[in-house]
Amino acid sequence: MNKTYLYVSVSVSGASVLAVEILGTRIIGPFYGVDLFLWSALISVTLAALAAGYWLGGRWADRGPTMGRFSALFVAAGLWLVLLPILRGAAIEIARPLGHRAALLSAAAMLFFPPLAILGMVSPYALKLRVRSVGEVGRSAGNLYAVSTLASVAAALLVGFVLVPNFGVKSIASAIGIILVATGAAGILTGNVFAGSRRPWAAGEPRSQ
């Protein structure tokens, strides 16, 4: 169960990242136009947020990974996405005086940087929960990132080819948010799954109590 949940949660996280990036064109595109500047802003914000998330997630996990904290990441990101349609108006108004390019980049950062950074924390945190010994690091990291990336590919195709042409942006964003919250809730409800499952990194390393 613990291994299955980790892979499912990492898949949900990876899929959500690409879904949010694509939805960004529909969320702020009507205000600024869907052009090269919009895509450049969205890609830049996404990569910057993921970089920050990887950095923060790795350090947070090293303080002592728990299922409760891991699950809280999904709840936080999910709630932000549910509120995204409401937050959009405020972000657009705040960025309006900055001029087209700066306003576009600022609005994208205000709306998408927080949830994407939180989702970026998922993979390094999941790796810390998954690995039981130094000898498993390479294989476990490869498996987790491969699953996350494949889920991103599937989400990109699903959102771009099916969901956006047939459903409203608000409904899609809310659905993704609810899925993330549900994923986090499942982890919280099974928070004892990982109790005692982790192993020391090296012989002689004291067990955590």
Can you tell me whether residue 34 is helix, strand or coil? coil
**How confident is residue 136, by pLDDT bands cut at 50, 70 and 90?**
low
Task: Give this prediction's pTM.
Answer: 0.85
CA distance 16 to 176: 7
> pLDDT for 24-70, tens place per residue?
999 998 888 888 899 999 999 999 999 999 999 988 888 878 888 89
CA distance 61 to 168: 36
pLDDT of 198 reads 44
- One-letter amino acid for residue 161 of the chain: F
- One-letter amino acid for residue 37 of the chain: F
**How confident is residue 129, by pLDDT bands cut at 50, 70 and 90?**
confident
pLDDT of 51 reads 96
Helix residue ranges per DSSP H, the chain = 2-32, 36-62, 67-95, 100-120, 122-130, 137-158, 164-166, 169-189
Q: Which residue has the higher pLDDT, 2 or 29?
A: 29
Phi-psi region of 139 (alpha: psi -120 to 50; beta: other; left: phi over 0): alpha
CA distance 122 to 157: 22
CA distance 1 to 193: 7
- Compute the average pLDDT of residues 167-192: 88
pLDDT of 132 reads 65
pLDDT of 199 reads 41
Q: Which of 61-70, 83-92, 106-115, 166-175 has the highest mean pLDDT?
A: 106-115
Residues 55, 61, 67, 70, Cα dihedral to 10°: -10
pLDDT of 196 reads 43
